[in-house]
Structure 1
Amino acid sequence: MVEFNEIHCRCLVGGQVQGVGFRPFVYRLAVEEALAGQVGNTSEGVCIELQGPSAAVERFLRRLHDELPPLARLTRLERTELPVDEALRGTAFRIVQSTGRSGHSVLISPDVGICPDCLREMRDPGDSRYGYAFTNCTNCGPRYTITRAIPYDRATTSMACFPLCPRCAAEYGDPLNRRFHAQPVACPVCGPRLWFVRASDADRGAPPAREAAQPGQALAEAVAVLRQGGILALKGLGGFQLACDARRDEAVASLRQRKNRPHKALAVMLPDLEAARACCALAPEHEALLCSPEKPIVLCPLREDVAGGGGLSPLLAPDTDSLGIMLPYTPLHVALFDALAREAPLPPALVMTSANPRGEPLCLGNREALARLRHEADAFLLHDRDILVRVDDSVTALFPGDRAEGAAPFFHRRARGYVPRPVLLDLADAQSPTVCGAGAQLKATFCLTRGKDAFVSQHIGDLENLPTAHFYEEASAHLERLLEVRPALFVCDLHPDLHSSRWARDRARAEGLPLLPLQHHAAHAAAVLAEHGRLDGALALCLDGTGLGTDGSIWGGELLVMELGAVRWERRGQLSPFALPGGEAAIREPWRLALALRELLGQEGLPASWDEAGRPSVAAWGADALPASARRSARQQAPLLRELLRRGVNCPLTSSCGRLFDAVSAELGICLMTSYEGQAAIRLETLARRQDARPLDAGEDTVEALLRPPLDDGATWQLDAASLFALAQRDAARYGAATAALRFHERLALGLARLAARLAAMTGFRTVALAGGCLQNLLLARLLVRALRAWELHPLLPRELPPGDGGLSLGQAAWGLCAWRSGRLPSAAEA
């Protein structure tokens, strides 16, 4: 006779529930609640069948939500009541094998940094995995980078070629062991192995016979190279990395010379928090991010005594007072640091940078690395676990809102540890089509939607060379296979000549699908609004370098009105336009921009600091601020450029906020020529942060005077860029470059907030989305948030994606979903 309170139900669970210890967690809960039934992976998710007292079933379901394993995430739970099954009564709960060819509703976990349990085993001389560089369990280790298909089972990963030894097989098959169905599980007997190759022997880089492999010897030889100031290429989690001693100037200088990276900051890996605290002034939020399972690179303020007592080379980040640091996130990193620490007077510190020659994609395989990196590395630390997906390190800073935001990361680059975790879109549902947002040209990503989930790819890079373009196409094909989706609609940038736009256009034509072009800054705005679920009317400040505008000019400092749900937007404010003398050459040589603004203001001559005998106004950068070549170029080319400006020849107009930063930086003698994107603005921000804040002598009236109302109904409000530039000149003459840099940031933030307040009063919209690469200037971001709140406006910053072009593909995909829902799509023929 069936007991009155006995029930039988089936629960279908979707989310990040494979390879994260979810099934053994379910098994343990069911055993503790004395329930019968089973759990297994299916093509629709994880299926849990339960039978037992109703109170125990309900308690199980509450605990399922409240006690999830650290890496598990639930996005869906569908419960179906079933008749009580007499055959189940009194039986033990079971874990059954996966069924179905794939896992359409299941999310693959990102790669996860080594957990405390595995770290303890690696450092226990009595443990079988002592010092083993591929230790992992269900709470840590590689996931996305080794996955070919789903369900996430060993046979569909690059671990398929490593048969389990009896001991690992027993752990893998024990539901109460933390390695139960941990697909990369391995040990020194049956798992991947290390070996060492010198660059001079790169042609003989094949792995030695297993019997001859000596991982301890390989590590010892790698350590010897690093201690001697050499450069080591090691096979990391999502690709190869180049490492050198971060405490030795000659090693860092050699790495810079070989990578042709003279100034751009280099990330540093430190062994633990104590070593990190010795180098950087860490807030609790920094430490929480460094120690999180994702283990990103975190931008942290350098201690003032780093160059002297801190022990790190001053060549690591010459343009900024912050340093990107990370902790060891793989067992291989741990093993290398443990070996380096033996008999070392100071904790080891290693530059750990991506091994991607000439801006191309990361090296993936051993043969590829030996061929491409032989002139950059002195030696190689290799292993035989294949990397299937290239994924670079993520780069984060502290969220620029209130301290109450806690350790929320503010992304500069989103990749390892976070991809392929989706962004949840409230504007979609299970029946929504798959939309592909093709992304931008620089810092490219793409986005694929599946139901309510938007999957933004890992950082791809700049699509300006063929290998990176191939990586983009390779990554999109892989993610489509993994998600089992095919786009029904493509959305691309308005600029037709970007690689991403051409790729989307060619695919749409070949597959007979519609294509929507979306203006660059509208996509930025849509990304932030979609992430926050704002489909109604809002404003958006989009501040970045360049993007093709609907009028054919180059935009970059825009105030938009957007109703995402209604698929409507318009530009209602901007920075006043100024010229780019020589087009793209002005981006590489900011002195051209300063010259253009001086011409716009009717100023003759050049700044005194550009003279041959002049000294840089910022001693921190020495000759790098005013290289002789830049001074000669400015003096020689100024007359010609002034003539071109007067005639309007090869001098396109721009409203770019990024270019205004460049112009002010050059005018103040901070950076006349750049060796990497954003260098002039980074130096300007760094100088401003060093200056003690003091109130502006120009109050609200001056800021109000910077606004220019529209001349007619179809025009936009403008914030006068030339006047902002002139005020920076005035402040530099009165107070020096540092104060001028800070006041430029303050005036820009106040002026943009005032512009937004004007438009808010006209439209009634109080929400202001903040987007664009200029928001990675944390000083500007914080000042903008503060200024907007002073006008009782509600600023929104991106939380799950970078504010720059790395997050733009989400906005394209969200726009496509809204257009599909509203029926506002072109036909395939029109596309």
Structure 2
Amino acid sequence: MYAQYAQPIRLRVHLNGTVQGVGFRPFVFKLAKSLNLKGFVINDSSGVTIEVEGDRSSLDEFLIRLHTEKPALAHIYSQEVEYLEPVGYEDFEIRESQEEGKKEVLILPDIATCDQCLEEVFDRNNRRFMYPFTNCTNCGPRFTIIERLPYDRPNTSMRVFSMCPDCLREYEDPNDRRFHAQPNACPHCGPYVSLYDCSGRLLATHQEALELTVKALMDGRIVAVKGIGGFHLMCSAVNEETVRTLRERKRRQEKPFAVMFRDIHQVLLYAEPDPLEIALLLSPQRPIVLVKGKGGLAPSVAPGLKKIGAFLPYSPLHHILLSSLNVPVIATSGNMSDEPIVKDNHEALCKLSHFADLILLHNRDIVRRCDDSVIKVVGGVPLPIRRSRGYAPLPITLPKRLNKKVLAVGGMLKNTFALAWDDKVIMSQHVGDVENYETLKNFEDMVKDLMRLYEFVPEVVVCDLHPRYETTRWAHEFSTTNGIPLVKVQHHYAHILSCMAENGITEPVLGIAWDGTGYGDDNTLWGGEFLLCRYGSYKRVFHFRQFRLLGGEKAVKEPARVALAILLDVLGEEVLNRDLPTVRYFDSKSLEKLYIMYKRGINSPFSSSAGRLLDAVSSLLNLRHRVSYEGQAAMMLEDMYDPLVKDHYPYILENGLIDWRPIFLALLEDRSGKGPSRFINTLAHICKDVAQTVGLERVCLSGGVMQNDPLVSRIKELLTEEGFKVFTHQKVPAGDGGLCLGQVASLLEPFPIQL
């Protein structure tokens, strides 16, 4: 689709699991040779590392076949993928194993059900036939059941279940794949499921509960199902009436629901994933992957969007339920609006009875909440939108060691926090938006839980610069109470630092940080920033011309307010009499009130946000004047992008300011229907011009706007053609879910290079 994809690239894959001593390296060698890929495979202290170079289609095929053709005894529970510049390998080789590096005890994420356990679950002659808690050494829950280290059964929520003689024999046999599998259990000695109605009345247990659950889903009912890290609300994804009922009960107007499919073949009936997306769907993390839909699902699954959030079953319980259904199911987080996902049985019976007709519980306690991870392919590489189950709490490695133990509390929206020491950063699972007492209490509980689990005592705490963030207030109180220093880091600088840290960059970069909002050094709202960055310092070199947010926070949910301010800037008062979609959206009284706010600056803070500019365009093009969830307007614009459109609108770069007024004048005159494509192209050309003006070779893209695939792809294409090296996120979110990593990186000692 884009020019850079035709160039040779290097793929680095790191795998953890049973990948040593099972013929894995010879398998990789033969696979790489068959695809004419160059590079190496090597065992290291924590698994297997593979580097292969070649064309993109061969690398895509390599990734898929790595999972579908692996040796029978090999089991992969963690995969990290990076796309890098080629180094010119001449052949493929098996290199000698490396033993250097600490062999640290790290808590593993929850691991999707392996193929061998799945075979047993569906084998009528096996004692674990249809048992929803089947697992072995190579799969099953980890992070969500461990209460303390070391990872032994008495330190997990499985301690209340005593193994029967058969399970104990497996556990103690070194030749058995369940040797020291801490969650090991079977129908005779392990957890079981129970089905309740919404009044709390027990209906059935064990197999009967599963059968009644399947029947309820087939009949169009909504069922709350307890999983690995919390509850899902499940219902048929093809029954429009049921999906609408779920939306009404959950008061979730249009935000898309995730859809769980029985297997990859069923995914292909309803969606068109590309090879990398298929590899992500099949990976052991089993994330939700955003893929192009092709119809067949209920329209209310993802209203107005071309992409759907698809994922595959990752626990035996999911596999059992989906195997008996002919259609995919909605599997959305079970929680009250603006509250954490429900994880406990009594909490589910109290809260989820408002949403669900039935509630399927089990008696294995979930120690800590862990939402599903979400991945999107952006600019040709996988980008975490939400890094949680399957990935957390695997560490991120810093390019340099810290000299203190650091607690970084992240931002307020899409929060994650981090514990860091030496060169390791343990990022938490997804916490969510920390905006009220309930979510702040959950955030605090999760911070204390992770610190207790790792026996971690911070020596410094880092937070965002914004004084009104609940996490900033909490950090201030925590630092004061514990007598440790508090460091505040500017929002967009933290975004760029997170990109630098995960990519191991040590040189100064031009950072392009675009998002909805962030508190700036000048006490205004930033969001369209070009920063010269290194560890320890940064300089704002370019930013978008500021505009007013009419009504402050109201403008975030009502793009028409942003668009109106833009129109007033561009055309003046006379625009109030123009026949434009944005103007028509308001009644005369509202227009008069908003004009007075604009002229007098009443509750209308200035912003330079690129995210808000995208919102304004959606209103001016009559796509969206009000949004029901964050990013909705920008996602609709993204769906309208046409890669065949290459031209762009005019703009002015002068004295560190990007003047968008010529852009919007041209947009208002454009009747071609190519407005969304031309606007996105314009943003990409602005990035190229600023990069050429600044002259640094390395460019980092971060912030929530950089989740836009056509925008990032176009930026990468234009900058790469001019000789720049463009770096994006692949391990942590580009949005605020990655801020805590940048906050940690702000404490790294500067490398000996001056800007």
Q: Which TM class, normalised by the smaller chain length?
A: 0.7 to 0.9
The 8 Å contact of residues 549 and 565 in structure 2, kept in 1 or not, is answered as: yes
1:410 to 383, 390, 401: 383
- Answer yes or no: is 1:354 the counterpart of 2:333: yes
2:368 to 374, 389, 393: 389
Provide the secondary structure at the position in 2 that maps to 1:144. coil
Distance 1:815 1:62 in 2: 29
Matched AA of 1:316: V
The 8 Å contact of residues 145 and 391 in structure 1, kept in 2 or not, is answered as: yes
* Aligned twin of 1:457: 428
Give the TM-score, by structure 1 length: 0.78
| Compared CA separation, residues 797 and 225, structure 1 to 2 (3 A) | same
Distance 1:579 1:321 in 2: 31
2:611 to 655, 658, 669: 658
Identity of aligned residues (%): 38
Matched AA of 1:757: Q
| Compared CA separation, residues 62 and 576, structure 1 to 2 (3 A) | closer
* Aligned twin of 1:596: 565
- Answer yes or no: is 1:779 the counterpart of 2:710: yes
Matched AA of 2:384: F
Distance 1:546 1:72 in 2: 34
Which ranges of structure 2 fall in alignment gaps of 5 or more residues? 1-13, 24-41, 50-72, 81-96
- Answer yes or no: is 1:302 the counterpart of 2:293: yes
* Aligned twin of 1:809: 740
1:545 Cα deviation from its structure 2 partner:
0.4
2:76 to 64, 70, 81: 70
1:226 to 217, 220, 225: 217
1:434 Cα deviation from its structure 2 partner:
1.1
The 8 Å contact of residues 78 and 390 in structure 2, kept in 1 or not, is answered as: no
Matched AA of 2:600: R
| Compared CA separation, residues 218 and 576, structure 1 to 2 (3 A) | same
* Aligned twin of 1:516: 487
| Compared CA separation, residues 63 and 458, structure 1 to 2 (3 A) | closer
Which ranges of structure 1 fall in alignment gaps of 5 or more residues? 1-14, 30-58, 80-102, 341-346, 402-407, 615-630, 711-716, 823-831
| Compared CA separation, residues 68 and 500, structure 1 to 2 (3 A) | farther
2:678 to 722, 736, 743: 743
- Answer yes or no: is 1:532 the counterpart of 2:485: no
Distance 1:590 1:330 in 2: 41
* Aligned twin of 1:505: 476
Worse-matched range after superposition: 785-794 or 283-292: 785-794
1:268 Cα deviation from its structure 2 partner:
0.3
- Answer yes or no: is 1:767 the counterpart of 2:701: no
Superposed CA deviations along residues 219-261 of structure 1, whole A, max 9, x for unmatched, are 1211222122111000011001100100100011001111111
* Aligned twin of 2:392: 419
The 8 Å contact of residues 444 and 805 in structure 1, kept in 2 or not, is answered as: yes
Provide the secondary structure at the position in 2 that maps to 1:490. strand
The 8 Å contact of residues 370 and 429 in structure 2, kept in 1 or not, is answered as: yes
Distance 1:114 1:69 in 2: 10
| Compared CA separation, residues 544 and 516, structure 1 to 2 (3 A) | same
The 8 Å contact of residues 528 and 798 in structure 1, kept in 2 or not, is answered as: yes
Superposed CA deviations along residues 703-725 of structure 1, whole A, max 9, x for unmatched, are 4xx23321xxxxxx122223222
Superposed CA deviations along residues 430-451 of structure 1, whole A, max 9, x for unmatched, are xx32111110010011111132
Give the TM-score, by structure 2 length: 0.86
1:71 Cα deviation from its structure 2 partner:
3.5
1:277 to 265, 268, 272: 268
Superposed CA deviations along residues 321-361 of structure 1, whole A, max 9, x for unmatched, are 00110011100001111232xxxxxx321000001111200
The 8 Å contact of residues 78 and 391 in structure 2, kept in 1 or not, is answered as: no
- Answer yes or no: is 1:373 the counterpart of 2:349: no
| Compared CA separation, residues 21 and 65, structure 1 to 2 (3 A) | closer
Matched AA of 2:490: Q
Matched AA of 1:328: P
* Aligned twin of 1:89: none
| Compared CA separation, residues 540 and 464, structure 1 to 2 (3 A) | same
- Answer yes or no: is 1:789 the counterpart of 2:720: yes
The 8 Å contact of residues 224 and 234 in structure 2, kept in 1 or not, is answered as: yes
| Compared CA separation, residues 165 and 607, structure 1 to 2 (3 A) | farther
Provide the secondary structure at the position in 1 that maps to 2:221. coil
If you compute each CA radius of gyration, which structure gives the higher value, 1 or 2?
A: 1
Matched AA of 1:641: L
The 8 Å contact of residues 138 and 178 in structure 1, kept in 2 or not, is answered as: yes
1:709 to 644, 647, 654: 654
Distance 1:759 1:230 in 2: 58
The 8 Å contact of residues 436 and 490 in structure 1, kept in 2 or not, is answered as: yes
Distance 2:339 2:538 in 1: 36
| Compared CA separation, residues 63 and 579, structure 1 to 2 (3 A) | closer
1:585 to 543, 554, 576: 554
Provide the secondary structure at the position in 2 that maps to 1:265. coil
Distance 2:552 2:396 in 1: 37
The 8 Å contact of residues 271 and 337 in structure 1, kept in 2 or not, is answered as: yes
The 8 Å contact of residues 270 and 297 in structure 2, kept in 1 or not, is answered as: yes
Worse-matched range after superposition: 159-168 or 595-604: 595-604
Matched AA of 1:70: I
Distance 2:520 2:415 in 1: 19
| Compared CA separation, residues 150 and 104, structure 1 to 2 (3 A) | farther
- Answer yes or no: is 1:694 the counterpart of 2:629: no
| Compared CA separation, residues 759 and 315, structure 1 to 2 (3 A) | same
| Compared CA separation, residues 60 and 144, structure 1 to 2 (3 A) | closer
1:641 Cα deviation from its structure 2 partner:
1.2
1:465 Cα deviation from its structure 2 partner:
1.6
The 8 Å contact of residues 78 and 284 in structure 2, kept in 1 or not, is answered as: no
Matched AA of 1:708: L
How big is the alpha-carbon RMSD for the aligned residues of Structure 1 and Structure 2? 2.6
Distance 1:146 1:61 in 2: 28
Provide the secondary structure at the position in 2 that maps to 1:608. coil
| Compared CA separation, residues 246 and 708, structure 1 to 2 (3 A) | same
The 8 Å contact of residues 241 and 353 in structure 1, kept in 2 or not, is answered as: yes
| Compared CA separation, residues 584 and 634, structure 1 to 2 (3 A) | farther
Distance 2:254 2:705 in 1: 19
Distance 1:592 1:283 in 2: 38
Matched AA of 2:464: D
Distance 1:288 1:571 in 2: 39
Runs of 4+ in 1 over 4 A off after TM superposition: 59-69, 72-79
* Aligned twin of 2:592: 639
Provide the secondary structure at the position in 1 that maps to 2:749. helix
The 8 Å contact of residues 21 and 180 in structure 1, kept in 2 or not, is answered as: no
1:318 to 295, 298, 303: 303
1:647 Cα deviation from its structure 2 partner:
1.9
Provide the secondary structure at the position in 2 that maps to 1:817. coil
1:367 Cα deviation from its structure 2 partner:
0.4
Provide the secondary structure at the position in 2 that maps to 1:594. helix
1:242 to 216, 230, 233: 233
The 8 Å contact of residues 144 and 366 in structure 2, kept in 1 or not, is answered as: yes
Provide the secondary structure at the position in 1 that maps to 2:135. coil
Distance 1:331 1:274 in 2: 18
| Compared CA separation, residues 145 and 104, structure 1 to 2 (3 A) | farther
* Aligned twin of 1:484: 455
The 8 Å contact of residues 524 and 808 in structure 1, kept in 2 or not, is answered as: yes
| Compared CA separation, residues 520 and 634, structure 1 to 2 (3 A) | farther
| Compared CA separation, residues 668 and 484, structure 1 to 2 (3 A) | same
Matched AA of 1:449: A
Distance 2:47 2:283 in 1: 23
| Compared CA separation, residues 590 and 579, structure 1 to 2 (3 A) | same
Matched AA of 1:286: E
1:72 Cα deviation from its structure 2 partner:
7.5
1:649 Cα deviation from its structure 2 partner:
2.0
Matched AA of 1:169: L
Aligned residues: 680
Provide the secondary structure at the position in 2 that maps to 1:570. strand
